[in-house]
């Protein structure tokens, strides 16, 4: 029952409601009413809305509901599963549907969202996104937050005219233009982009890199760990994606020189800020043991691309670019597979099945040259 009291020259009302997400009773208060009757009427109205479930219907957006749902769900699943769920929510669902009221989301809107994802992502990736949304909506129905699950019977098949998503990468001219703008004196982001583009490392592998992993004498990097996000703020450093991801790769003199310069820049910064020494190649500006967040890196990456008028290819696109440039230069598919940490050559072939124009022309020239026709 709502209760009213005098509070700082006006009236305050308090009332109880049942939080259907956390399954506990909570108390809410609101102040600033001129009369006790106004406060009492407001409290009774809120209690009535809560009883009718309308308070919840007006409260939740898709984003706010999923934020509360994943907090509860993370307690029931493994860290890796929770990480995958958060990725689907943060990078796919929220950007497109997050601002919609949960109870106003229509089935046709959700189906269009799924079809848009099928245009640019694999079926398996879209199935994961759909699974997260469907599970969350089931939870909302079970707890009487919404009346029905609009994700049921969603079509997850690609239409016949949908093309297989093509791997995004820079052309030779684009990657050269991009690299020419980078300078380690600008900070960690430029060094990060240089390293990923020139090594083909995964973003998580690069973020977990320590100075002890880099051998400036043998010109090699040892890759044996990766950063994994557990939720929006927490992280852990563990084994890479697969056993084949544990590997040693060679580095060119240009990249090694940039790393050496960055080591000096980074050490000098940590000294100025009295943060001490760091074994990690990439850390935040405030913490010598904490890697920067992937989303912050991606944001800075996209800003640079917009400035240069280059297409958005994602951080992983730098890894793809590295592989494509190697193949264009004549590297064997086996070498590229081992360098990327793929478990087999077939995986590499599947990823880079769409040959670049330069590779196609090069192969045609090889045929003509072999027959003495050139």
Mean pLDDT by 10 residues, the chain (374 residues): 78 70 66 81 70 56 91 86 88 91 90 88 88 92 84 82 67 94 91 96 93 96 85 72 88 95 90 83 83 89 94 92 89 90 80 64 68 63
The pLDDT of residue 165: 57
262, 184 in Cβ contact below 8 A? yes
Cα pseudo-dihedral 244, 247, 253, 257, rounded to 10: 110
The pLDDT of residue 57: 45
CATH superfamily to which 172-364 belongs? Intergrase catalytic core (1.10.443.10)
The pLDDT of residue 160: 56
The pLDDT of residue 370: 62
Domain extents in the chain: 3-52, 62-142, 172-364
Q: Which fold has domain 62-142?
A: DNA polymerase; domain 1 (1.10.150)
The pLDDT of residue 55: 47
User: Could you tell me which of 236, 292, 241, 293 has the C-alpha nearest to residue 90?
Assistant: 293
**Total residue length of the chain:** 374
The pLDDT of residue 170: 92
User: Could you tell me which of 61, 26, 24, 28 has the C-alpha nearest to residue 45?
Assistant: 28
Residues 366, 337, 173, 253: is their CA dihedral positive or negative? negative
Annotate 30-51 with b (16+ C-beta within 10 A) or e (fewer): eeebeeeeebbebbeebbebbe
């Amino acid at each position: 029952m709502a209760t009213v009291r005098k509070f700082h020259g006006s009236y305050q009302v308090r009332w109880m409601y049942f939080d259907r997400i956390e399954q506990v009773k909570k108390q809410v208060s609101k102040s600033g009413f001129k009369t006790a009757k106004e406060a009492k009427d407001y409290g009774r109205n809120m209690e009535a809305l809560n009883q009718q479930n309308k308070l919840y219907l007006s409260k939740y957006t898709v984003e706010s509901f999923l934020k509360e749902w994943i907090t509860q769900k993370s307690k029931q699943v493994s860290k890796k599963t929770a990480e995958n769920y958060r990725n689907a929510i943060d990078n796919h669902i929220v950007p497109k549907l997050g601002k919609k009221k949960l109870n106003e989301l229509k089935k046709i809107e959700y189906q269009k969202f799924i079809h848009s994802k099928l245009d640019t992502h694999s079926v398996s990736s879209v199935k994961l996104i759909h699974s997260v949304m469907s599970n969350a909506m089931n939870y909302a129905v079970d707890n009487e937050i919404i009346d029905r699950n609009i994700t049921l019977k969603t079509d997850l098949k690609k239409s016949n005219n949908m093309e297989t998503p093509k791997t995004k990468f820079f052309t030779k001219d684009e990657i050269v233009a991009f690299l020419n703008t980078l300078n380690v004196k600008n900070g960690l982001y430029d060094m990060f982009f240089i390293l990923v583009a020139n090594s083909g490392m995964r973003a998580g592998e690069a973020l977990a890199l320590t100075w002890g992993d880099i051998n400036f004498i043998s010109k090699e990097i040892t890759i044996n760990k990766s950063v994994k996000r557990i939720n929006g703020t927490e992280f852990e450093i563990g084994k890479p994606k697969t056993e084949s991801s544990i590997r040693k790769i060679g580095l060119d003199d240009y990249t090694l020189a940039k790393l050496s310069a960055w080591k000096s820049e980074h050490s000098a910064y940590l000294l100025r800020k009295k943060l001490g020494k760091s074994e990690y190649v990439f850390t935040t500006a405030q913490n010598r043991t904490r890697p920067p967040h992937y989303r912050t890196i991606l944001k800075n990456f996209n800003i640079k691309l917009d400035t240069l008028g280059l297409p958005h290819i994602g951080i992983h696109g730098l890894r793809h670019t590295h592989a494509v440039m190697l193949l264009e230069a004549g590297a064997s598919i086996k070498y590229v597979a081992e360098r990327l940490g793929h478990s087999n050559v077939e995986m590499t072939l599947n990823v880079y099945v769409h040959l670049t124009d330069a590779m196609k022309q090069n192969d045609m020239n090889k045929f003509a040259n072999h027959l003495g026709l050139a």
